[in-house]
Amino acid sequence: MMRFPSVVALALTACAVPMPVLAQSAGEDDMIVVQGQRLTREEVRAKANDFVRKLGVVKSQRSVARWVANICPRVKGLSPDHARIVTDQLRATMKAMGAPVAEKDCDTNFLVAFVGDGREMVSMIQAKQPIGLAQVEGPDRRALLESEAPIRWWYSIRFGSGDGGAVATAPPPGAGGNSEGGTPVLPDGVPIGGSFAPSLVRTQAIRTIAAATVIIDVNRAEGISLTAATQYAAFVGLAEVRGRALPEVPSILNLFSPQDRASDLTDWDRRFLVELYDLPLNRFGRVQRGQLVRALVDDDGSETAD
C-alpha cells in the first residue's frame, strides 16, 4: 500500500482544528418532511445519465477507477476522539457500499485532513511534494490550487491487466496518445495492458485507485455538520469524482450548493456507489456507463424526485 509523503503528515500535525468550527449533527427528534414529484421512466433515465456524466467517472471509452486494494483511512487535524468517530464512520460507509476495507492496523492510503486553510495546505503540498499532485491536470488542477472550495481532493491512479497479467510498458505499433501515471494510453484515454483477448467490451487493462487525499477547510465549511463532511469525504474517496461536480439531483456533492442539497448520502449516491463496486472493471467506459445509469433507475422505471 502507498504511504503518504512525510511533508503532508508534518504539515497536518501542526494544524489541528478546534471542533466548534463545524456544526453538530441534527438531533434525533428533528424531522424534515419532503414531498416530491413522481417522475416518468424517461425523466429518471435522463437524470441518471446527467448524474453519471457530471461525476466524470467515465470519460469517453476510459473505464472507471475504484479501489481494489483494501482501503486504510486516516483522519488528521481533529482531536483523537473526534478523529476516531470520523474514521469509524468512514469505515462503516465504505463497507456498506461494498468497498474493500483494511484492518485497523494498516498503512494509510486514504487521508482525510481537517485544516484551517485548504488552499494554503494544497499549495504547501504542491511546493514540497509536487509528485503527489502529478495526475491532476487542466481545470481540475487550477480548481484544486486556486479555488475557494470548502473541500478538495485528488487521487493516485494505477493500472492493472484486465486478465491479471502484467501491464504493457510500451504501446503497440501505431498507437499514439500520451501517458497517465506512466502507462501508455490510446488517444481517448483507454489504457493498454497485457491482455490480448479479442473483445468489443472488455479492456486490456483496469484502472484502480491506489491512494486518495481529501482536504476539508473548516473555515470555508463552517456550519456544516461533522457527519455531513465525513459522508462527503467518503463519497469522493470511493469514486474518481471530478473536482467541480455538481449533480442536478439530490446528492451529498451538493452539500454546499443552494439546490438539491443533502447532508448525507442520498439514494442516488448509494445506488451509484454500490453499483460501482459491483461492476466489472475490465469493461470499456460506454459499457460501464450503461450499467451505472441502469442502477440509478428503479425496477418499475419511475422514481420520486425528492
Residue 215 pLDDT greater than 70, yes or no:
yes
CA distance 151 to 221: 8
Q: Report DSSP letters for 106-146, one per residue.
A: S---EEEEEES-HHHHHHHHHHH-GGGGTT--HHHHHHHHH
Pick 30 or 180 by higher pLDDT: 30
Instruction: Report the percentage of the chain scoring pLDDT > 70.
Output: 72
225: helix, strand or coil:
strand
Instruction: Report the percentage of the chain scoring pLDDT > 90.
Output: 55
Residue 266 pLDDT greater than 90, yes or no:
yes
27: helix, strand or coil:
coil
Phi, psi at residue 261, to the nearest 5°? -80, 145
For residue range 51-87, what is the model confidence (pLDDT) as tens digits?
999 999 998 788 999 999 999 999 999 999 999 999 9
CA distance 205 to 166: 9
Q: pLDDT band at residue 163, thresholds of 50, 70 and 90?
A: low
CB under 8 Å to 220, separation ≥6 — which residues?
118, 148, 149, 150
For residue range 98-157, what is the model confidence (pLDDT) as tens digits?
999 999 889 999 999 999 999 999 999 999 988 889 898 888 898 899 999 999 999 999
Residue 211 pLDDT greater than 80, yes or no:
yes
